[in-house]
A = this chain, B = another copy of it.
Amino acid sequence: MKRRFLMTPGPSPVPLFVRESLSQEMMHHRTSEFKEILKKAHEGLKSIFCTENPVLVLSSSGTGAMEASVSNLFSKEDKVLAIGGGKFGERWAEIAKAFGLNVIEMNVGWGTAPSPDELTKILDDNKDIKAVLTTLCETSTATVFDVEKIAKITNEKDILLVVDAISGLGQDVLLTDQWGVDVVVSGSQKGLMLPPGLSFISLSRRAQNAIATSNLPKYYFDLKKALKSHANDDTPYTSAVSLIVGLATALEAIKKEGLEVRWKKFSKMAEATREAAKALGLETFSQSPSDSVTAIVSPENIKSSDIVKILRGEYGLSIAGGQADFKDKIFRIAHMGWISDKDLIECFLLLEKVLGGLGYEFEQGISKLRLEEVLYG
A residues bordering B, Cβ < 8 Å? 4, 6, 8, 10-14, 19-20, 22-29, 31, 59-64, 66-67, 70-71, 94-95, 98-100, 187, 189, 195-197, 216-222, 237-243, 312, 318
Tell me the bound Cα distance from A8 to B241 in angstroms: 14
Point out the residues of chain B lying under 8 angstroms from A221, CB to CB: 220
Q: Which of the residues B24, B67, B239 comes within 8 Å of A219, measured between beta carbons?
A: B67
Number of this chain's copies in the assembly equals 2
A192 CB → nearest B CB, Å: 12
Contact B219 A63 (CB under 8 A): yes
Q: Which of the residues B23, B64, B195, B242 comes within 8 Å of A220, measured between beta carbons?
A: B64
Tell me the bound Cα distance from A311 to B71 in angstroms: 41
Contact B24 A8 (CB under 8 A): no
Q: Across the two chains, which residue of chain B brings its CB closest to A2? A: B33
Q: Which of the residues B63, B312, B318 comes within 8 Å of A237, measured between beta carbons?
A: B63
Known: A94-B219, A196-B241. A4 touches B20 (CB 8 A): no
Summarize A's interface: helix, strand, loop or mixed.
Answer: loop
Point out the residues of chain B lying under 8 angstroms from A13, CB to CB: 25-26
Known: A237-B61, A240-B195, A242-B197. A11 touches B25 (CB 8 A): no
Q: Which of the residues B22, B66, B67 comes within 8 Å of A22, measured between beta carbons?
A: B22
Q: Which of the residues B20, B25, B59, B95 comes within 8 Å of A197, measured between beta carbons?
A: B59
8 more contacts with CB within 8 A, not counting A71-B217, A98-B219, A195-B242, are A6-B27, A11-B28, A14-B242, A59-B60, A59-B61, A59-B197, A60-B60, A63-B220
Tell me the bound Cα distance from A357 to B223 in angstroms: 43
Contact B8 A28 (CB under 8 A): yes
Tell me the bound Cα distance from A71 to B217 in angstroms: 9
Point out the residues of chain B lying under 8 angstroms from A63, CB to CB: 219-220, 237-238
Tell me the bound Cα distance from A12 to B242 in angstroms: 12
Known: A63-B237, A241-B196. A23 touches B26 (CB 8 A): no
